[in-house]
């Protein structure tokens, strides 16, 4: 086995990232955006990223986290693509919130994605706010934050940036690309455009295009942000302001879509919050109201408002079939990638019929595909929560594929 530390390529700079001590873990979101505690690589202006909007972005930075050890032939790497409001901190505590990594149930020693066996890489997406270049980053042309001068990006642009990172790490072919929700969209883009660079693709709770309903939900959130006077036409950072109320409302509206009616009823019902009687006011009488307000207030401390606008717009623009003359199957024609598509019965944000469309397209080109619909009452967020059947599904698929490739149990580093 070899060390995960890889020398930077010529012309690029890579930031070392020793695990910070507990005393310095808690940082502001702005501090983390400007100088991430995770590893990062900056690609120079001479190697810009050509974006779907026709503009070029350079220099640009990709911040990322890893877990596990890369083996000698670099065949055990798994790329983890995160969802809309997640980040690269899937494994260790977030330096902003101090909370544990967001997929510790799935990834770690002896878990479905076994870090004693695999090397997991999770980049913060392009347009994000945890160290990768986004609206909060400094625009080299002006010396100030990009703000709304940041170019509009797509899911495919995010994947292009991830491809640059994988090149930088010297990995020719990934064992797997996995992700849920927006992460699943990235998985599909990887399979469509870089299928020769991955053995397995695991898109979870996702769709091949964003529905009109989901575009509508995102537009409500964006309008809430932009209607906040503190947004200041996107220039709030220049004026040391934060559109807290607007971003909190956007988060509250979005969070409802991540849950199910059954989950909300089981957790809250019509229970009152810290009181025995209704106040006949507009205070948070109900527990569910208090819960949503808490979700909104904590979100604004860890996420950038303009990043939220850009990332939701990238999801709205996502339409993989449209990228292939309106025929989704064309995106996967000739693929040798093995697929495992997963959906959840109570997910009404990306319902099972959306996953079936992906499976049907894969079947149309005789791709190697497995499909599992998991019984769950936890809604869209089920992929982030404890779901034993889901864990077993992912573990079984990965173990089968690894066995075919001869990837055995991890051995001590040499």
Catalytic residues: 181, 347, 380
Q: What are phi and psi of 56, to 5 degrees?
A: -115, 145
Q: Is 326 left (phi over 0), alpha (psi -120 to 50) or beta?
A: left
CA dihedral for 197, 402, 354, 260, sign (positive or negative) = negative
Please give the sequence-ordered ranges of beta strands (E in DSSP) within 115-197, or none if there are none. 119-123, 138-139, 144-145, 174-180
Comparing CA positions, the residue from 175, 158, 166, 147 lying closest to residue 340 is 175
Q: Which residues pair with 44 in a beta bridge?
A: none
Distance CA 101, CA 62 (A): 19
Enter the DSSP assignment of 11: T
* Torsion angle of C-alpha atoms 371, 335, 80, 295, degrees rounded to 10: -50
How many C-beta neighbours within 10 Å does residue 319 have? 16
CB 27 within 8 A of CB 129: no
Distance CA 251, CA 383 (A): 19
3-state secondary structure of 117: coil
Residue 25 exposed, middle or buried by CB count within 10 Å (0-12, 13-18, 19+): middle
User: How is residue 76 written in tokens?
Assistant: 């055990």
Angle, helices 212-227/244-258, rounded to nearest 10 degrees:
160
Q: What are phi and psi of 322, to 5 degrees?
A: -60, -30
């Amino acid at each position: 086995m070899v060390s995960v530390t890889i020398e930077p390529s010529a012309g690029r700079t890579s930031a070392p990232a020793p695990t910070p001590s507990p005393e310095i873990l808690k940082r502001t979101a702005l501090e983390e955006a400007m100088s991430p505690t995770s590893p990062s690589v900056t690609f120079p202006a001479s190697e810009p990223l050509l974006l779907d909007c026709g503009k070029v972005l350079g220099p640009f930075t990709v911040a990322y986290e890893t877990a596990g050890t890369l083996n000698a032939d670099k065949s055990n790497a798994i790329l983890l693509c995160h969802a809309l409001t997640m980040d690269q901190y899937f494994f260790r505590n977030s330096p902003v919130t101090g909370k544990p990594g967001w997929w510790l149930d799935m990834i770690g020693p002896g878990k479905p994605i076994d870090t004693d066996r695999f090397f997991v890489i999770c980049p913060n997406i392009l347009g994000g706010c945890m160290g990768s270049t986004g609206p909060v980053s400094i625009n080299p042309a002006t010396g100030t934050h990009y703000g709304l001068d940041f170019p509009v990006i797509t899911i495919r642009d995010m994947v292009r940036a991830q491809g640059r990172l994988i090149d930088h790490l010297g990995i020719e072919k990934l064992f797997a690309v996995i992700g849920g929700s927006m992460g699943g969209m990235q998985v599909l883009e990887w399979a469509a455009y870089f299928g020769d660079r991955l053995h397995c693709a695991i898109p979870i709770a996702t769709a091949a295009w964003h529905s009109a309903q989901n575009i509508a939900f995102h537009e409500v959130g964006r309008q809430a942000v932009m209607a906040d006077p503190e947004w200041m036409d996107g220039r709030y950072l220049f004026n040391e302001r934060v559109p807290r109320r607007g971003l909190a409302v956007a988060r509250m509206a979005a969070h409802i879509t991540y849950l199910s009616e059954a989950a909300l009823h089981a957790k809250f019902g019509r229970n009152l919050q810290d009181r025995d009687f209704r106040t006949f006011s507009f205070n948070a009488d109900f527990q569910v109201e208090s819960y949503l307000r808490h979700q909104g207030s904590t979100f604004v401390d860890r996420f950038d408002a303009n990043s939220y606008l850009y990332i939701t717009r990238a999801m709205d623009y996502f339409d993989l079939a449209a990228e292939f003359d309106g025929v989704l199957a064309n995106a996967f024609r000739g693929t040798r990638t093995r697929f495992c598509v997963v959906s959840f019965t109570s997910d009404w944000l990306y319902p099972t019929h959306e996953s079936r469309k992906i499976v049907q397209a894969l079947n149309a080109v005789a791709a190697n595909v497995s499909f599992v619909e998991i019984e769950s009452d936890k809604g869209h967020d089920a992929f982030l929560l404890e779901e034993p059947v889901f864990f077993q599904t992912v573990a079984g698929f990965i173990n089968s594929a690894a066995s075919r490739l001869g990837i055995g149990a991890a051995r001590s580093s040499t």
